[in-house]
């Protein structure tokens, strides 16, 4: 393998695919696994195609294989199957052997032009198989797994120093200590719903995406702070179900926009367990009125007057392609009216949001077991966002370019004045009892749970008991001990959520910014795909498992307390409803 001809071919493969070895390995003995995997993925696979490779087990840890673990180019490792600990009892020779002559693992690689940050899943098999020869058929191996003579441990591979792969066993979704509590939660969802159900709303219908999502190119010759040059974010065009739906909304808009109409838009794929990340810059036709704490949506005439440069280019291209003609002034007006009536301010959803609030948000689709929910302080995020955007544009970080924070329709939300109440509800929504109950109730698709919508708040979640509320509850007949106990549980849940928000922010920086180069405010032209979002949520859940156990205990105690039957056939949930 060390012939001059092979070494020459080896170096050419790496050079062709622009793969570089670390300096200490230049001139080291060549290994066929490196060029074989890299060339096969690049040459034989279509985009998003998969292929399993049998490679030496040292690929996971050996320094010379770091070039593979760095996943350069289009190579993305998705799974590792470790069979090193499986022994074969060869009955014909009465000896114990291994599956491979040398320690090997199976590597599932994918060709990805747009790199995801999907976690590397892993399975480690361990046990002994007795068979008539060393060559064990797949069906015999599967049967051994079923009979538990070979055990499978599932988990993920994280990266250590020099990108070595470290196997971390996956913790199972925590089972409820009291399954009857889950049954009761589901049963009572039809009759005893949370008082928060009347308060929860969907975010604004920020669609078509290409008229909303934007990026701010770094200025070459200075910056006009009053009118910022923006263009449609690539995600708005390429994301399935957004830009490419029916091929209609694929126009790239660009132009100068008054900075007061630039906002941060929080979409469902920005929301993780106890945190948000990768918030989108958006062009929205509204004024943030912080004095009266409301958003004022512009009328059609003012939109055309102040945002005409941004909207009209897209409207012209849309009409030219669909109608085969240039739009008239009336056509532009009708389009804007449709945009306001049926999308951006549909059912006055924009007008119902507050620019100053502690806002609880949770994603509205996907499996509830992996649901994200978080509390955002809109004013605090706005301040942080302006610093990030100013730094990305290379200007003074004291300027204000972004005007406010707005929640998108891919989330459900409630605005709160009390930060403790917001965090209390966030902790409950992330608890195992609530997520499992929602999982039972939500519609199903081929890949599991689909829509979450307002189902979490159809469950009997009690109102947050304030000092004033506790006094009212006492007057209504509930015992002093029950009230104080309930309030104590709620406050501890709130404090746990606050602590986890600080911890998760660091995890998101590690998993999304360091691995995918997407900052807190997405000033890049990239975006996390749905699979990567789900993977990051799972990684966070794995890392906060110890905190989660305490939250689950508190949630179970609280829910059991509010569901207790009283002498008057009422529950503490009834007493904790706000006074009308």
**What are 180-236's pLDDT values in tens digits?**
888 888 888 888 889 999 999 999 999 889 899 999 987 766 677 788 999 999 888
Pairing of strands 294-297, 286-289: antiparallel
Highest mean pLDDT among 8-22, 130-144, 491-505 belongs to 491-505
Contact in structure between 65 and 59 (CB atoms under 8 Å): yes
Highest mean pLDDT among 336-340, 403-407, 462-466, 530-534 belongs to 403-407
pLDDT digits 0-9 by tens, 360-386: 999 999 999 999 999 999 999 999 999
235 vs 257: CA distance, rounded Å: 20
Contact in structure between 470 and 491 (CB atoms under 8 Å): no
559 vs 434: CA distance, rounded Å: 10
441 vs 458: CA distance, rounded Å: 10
Strands (E), 192-311: 201-202, 213-215, 227-232, 254-258, 262-266, 271-272, 275-276, 280-283, 286-289, 294-297
Share of the chain above pLDDT 70, in %: 85
Q: What is the pTM of this model?
A: 0.73
pLDDT digits 0-9 by tens, 233-248: 988 887 655 544 456 7
Mean pLDDT for the stretch of residues 501-523 = 93
* Among candidate residues 263, 154, 152, the one with its CA nearest the CA of residue 203: 263
Contact in structure between 364 and 452 (CB atoms under 8 Å): yes
What pLDDT does residue 449 have?
76
What pLDDT does residue 116 have?
65
164 vs 376: CA distance, rounded Å: 36
What pLDDT does residue 243 have?
44
pLDDT digits 0-9 by tens, 138-175: 888 888 888 888 888 888 887 766 677 878 776 655 55
pLDDT band at 335 (very low <50, low <70, confident <90, very high): confident
Q: What single-letter DSSP state applies at residue 578?
A: P
Cα separations in angstroms, 351 against 101, 294, 355, 361, 454? 68, 7, 10, 17, 20
* Among candidate residues 180, 200, 181, the one with its CA nearest the CA of residue 558: 181
pLDDT digits 0-9 by tens, 478-504: 556 677 788 889 999 999 999 999 999
pLDDT at 278 > cutoff 60: yes
Mean pLDDT for the stretch of residues 296-308 = 91
387 vs 402: CA distance, rounded Å: 10
Which tokens in the block code for residue 344? 């951006």
Share of the chain above pLDDT 90, in %: 36
Locus of tokens 């538990």: 148
Strands (E), 61-103: 75-90, 95-98
Q: In terms of C-beta density within 10 A (0-12 exposed, 13-18 middle, 19 or more buried), how is residue 350 classed?
A: buried
pLDDT at 100 > cutoff 70: yes
Higher pLDDT, 93 or 117: 93
572 vs 427: CA distance, rounded Å: 20
pLDDT at 357 > cutoff 60: yes
What pLDDT does residue 24 have?
42
* Among candidate residues 399, 371, 377, 365, the one with its CA nearest the CA of residue 216: 399
What pLDDT does residue 478 have?
54
> How does the average pLDDT of the chain come out, rounded?
83
Contact in structure between 285 and 298 (CB atoms under 8 Å): yes
Higher pLDDT, 372 or 2: 372
Q: What single-letter DSSP state applies at residue 60?
A: G
pLDDT at 546 > cutoff 70: yes
Measured between alpha carbons, how far apart are the two ends of the chain, in Å? 83
What pLDDT does residue 217 have?
86
């Amino acid at each position: 393998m060390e012939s001059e001809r092979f070494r020459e071919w080896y170096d050419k493969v790496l050079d062709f695919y622009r793969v570089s070895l670390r300096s200490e390995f230049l001139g080291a003995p060549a290994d066929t696994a490196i060029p074989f995997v890299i060339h096969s993925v690049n040459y034989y696979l279509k985009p998003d195609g998969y292929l399993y490779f049998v490679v030496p087990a040292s690929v996971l840890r050996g320094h010379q294989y770091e070039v593979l673990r760095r996943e350069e180019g289009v190579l993305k490792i998705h799974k590792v199957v470790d069979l090193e600990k499986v022994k074969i009892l060869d009955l014909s020779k009465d000896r114990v052997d291994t599956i491979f002559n040398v320690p090997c693992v199976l590597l599932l690689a994918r060709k990805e032009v747009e790199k995801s940050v999907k976690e590397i899943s892993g399975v480690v098999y361990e046990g002994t198989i007795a068979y008539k020869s060393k060559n064990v058929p797949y069906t015999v191996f599967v049967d051994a797994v079923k009979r538990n003579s070979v055990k499978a441990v599932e988990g993920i591979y994280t990266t250590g120093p020099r990108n070595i792969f470290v196997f971390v066993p996956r913790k199972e979704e925590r089972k409820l200590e009291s399954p009857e509590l889950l049954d009761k939660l589901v049963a009572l969802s039809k009759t005893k719903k949370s008082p928060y159900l009347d308060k929860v709303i969907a975010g604004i219908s920020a669609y078509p995406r290409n008229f909303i999502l934007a990026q701010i190119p770094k200025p070459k010759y200075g910056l006009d702070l009053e009118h910022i040059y923006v263009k449609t974010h690539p995600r708005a065009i390429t994301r399935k179900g957004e830009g490419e739906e029916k091929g209609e909304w694929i126009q790239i808009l660009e132009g100068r926009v008054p900075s007061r109409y630039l906002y941060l838009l929080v979409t469902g794929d920005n929301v993780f367990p106890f945190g948000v990340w990768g918030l989108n810059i958006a062009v929205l036709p509204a004024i943030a009125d912080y004095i009266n704490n409301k958003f004022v949506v512009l009328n059609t005439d003012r939109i055309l007057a102040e945002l005409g440069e941004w909207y009209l280019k897209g409207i012209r291209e849309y009409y030219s392609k669909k109608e085969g003609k240039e739009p008239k002034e009336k056509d532009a007006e009708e389009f804007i009216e449709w945009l306001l009536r049926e999308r951006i301010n549909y059912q006055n959803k924009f007008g119902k949001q507050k620019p100053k609030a502690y806002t609880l948000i949770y994603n509205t689709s996907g499996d509830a077991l992996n649901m994200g929910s978080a509390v955002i302080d809109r004013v605090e995020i706005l301040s942080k966002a302006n610093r990030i955007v100013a730094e990305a544009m290379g200007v003074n970080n004291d300027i204000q370019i972004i005007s406010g924070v707005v929640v998108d329709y891919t989330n459900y939300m409630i605005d709160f004045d009390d930060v403790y109440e917001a965090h209390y509800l966030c902790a409950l929504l992330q608890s195992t009892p609530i997520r499992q109950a929602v999982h039972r109730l939500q519609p199903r698709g081929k890949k599991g749970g689909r829509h979450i919508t307002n189902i979490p708040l159809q469950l009997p979640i009690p109102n947050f008991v304030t000092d004033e509320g506790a006094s009212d509850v006492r007057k209504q007949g509930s015992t002093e001990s029950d009230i104080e106990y309930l309030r104590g549980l709620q406050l501890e849940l709130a404090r746990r959520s606050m602590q986890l928000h600080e911890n998760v922010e660091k995890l998101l920086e590690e998993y999304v910014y360091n691995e995918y180069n997407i900052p807190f405010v997405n000033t890049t032209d990239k975006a996390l795909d749905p699979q990567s979002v789900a993977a990051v949520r799972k990684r966070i859940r794995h890392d906060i498992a110890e905190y989660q156990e305490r939250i689950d205990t508190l949630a179970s105690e609280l829910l059991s307390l509010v569901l207790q039957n009283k002498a008057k056939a009422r529950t503490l949930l009834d007493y904790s409803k706000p006074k009308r």
